[in-house]
């Protein structure tokens, strides 16, 4: 399975003004730095927790379809499936609507169950287009606080670390906030 992020979010989970207030920054000449630190913090949190903090589009490419049609999602929260494309043995695509993919949620796991029609065609796999992530302002408060703490700590060491290496550190206070959201696979 390959998950493809189809584009950056329209906005970050926290506004520039909110982050500047938290970091006690009054000047405007480093707004770009604060925004890049916020983006790096969001990306780090999304990678560590597999929670998408701002709603956006993804494409999941599944080469070998499970016999039962259940596909566990590796990013949450899954909002909607917009389309399913199944590829037959010759590689010819067949487009199915969202009604052919049912979202199932149980015990902290989110999955998509594909219809028998899709499974019958999908000899060479499927591509699932979907919307994943929290609506604007809807990310959990603990994750937003973790962003604030990571941005604040990274802002303090910005001269010692290049922008490409940010966030340079995830402070223990932010790590503690991420623990309830991290999924451990056995």
Residue 169 counted as domain residue: yes
Residues 144 and 155 in one domain: yes
Residue 10 counted as domain residue: yes
- 3-state class percentages of the chain: helix first, strand second, coil last, to nearest 5: 35, 25, 40
Considering only CA atoms, which of 137, 150, 155 is closest in space to residue 177? Answer: 150
Domain tally for the chain?
2
Q: What range does the domain containing 124 cover?
A: 56-132
Residues 42 and 60 in one domain: no
Residue ending a domain, among 132, 147, 170, is 132
Residues 85 and 126 in one domain: yes
Residues 96 and 78 in one domain: yes
The pTM (predicted TM-score) of the whole model is 0.86
- CATH number of the domain to which 43 belongs: 1.10.3230
What average pLDDT does range 49-61 have in this prediction? 96
Quick one: DSSP state of residue 135?
A: P
Residues 92 and 37 in one domain: no
Residues 86 and 150 in one domain: no
What average pLDDT does range 112-140 have in this prediction? 93
Residue 90 counted as domain residue: yes
- Give the model confidence (pLDDT) of 85-103 as tens digits: 999 999 999 999 999 999 9
What average pLDDT does range 153-164 have in this prediction? 76
Residues 143 and 122 in one domain: no
Residues 121 and 62 in one domain: yes
Quick one: DSSP state of residue 120?
A: H
Residues 119 and 141 in one domain: no
């Amino acid at each position: 399975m390959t998950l493809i992020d189809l584009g950056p979010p329209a906005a970050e989970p926290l506004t520039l003004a909110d982050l500047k207030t938290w970091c006690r920054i009054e000047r405007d000449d480093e707004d770009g730095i604060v925004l890049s630190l916020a983006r790096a913090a969001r990306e780090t949190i999304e990678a560590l927790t597999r929670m998408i903090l701002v709603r956006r589009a993804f494409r999941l490419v599944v080469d070998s379809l499970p016999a039962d049609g259940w596909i566990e999602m590796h990013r949450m929260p899954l909002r909607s499936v917009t389309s399913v494309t199944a590829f037959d043995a010759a590689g010819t695509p067949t487009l199915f609507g969202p009604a052919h993919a049912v979202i199932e949620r149980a015990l902290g796991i989110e999955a998509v169950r594909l219809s028998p029609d899709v499974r019958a065609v999908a000899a060479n796999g499927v591509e699932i287009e979907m919307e994943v992530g929290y609506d604007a302002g809807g990310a959990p408060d603990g994750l937003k606080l973790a962003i604030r703490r990571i941005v604040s700590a990274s802002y303090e060491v910005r001269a010692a670390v290049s922008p490409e290496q940010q966030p340079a550190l995830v402070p223990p206070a932010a790590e503690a906030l991420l623990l309830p959201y991290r999924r451990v696979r056995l």
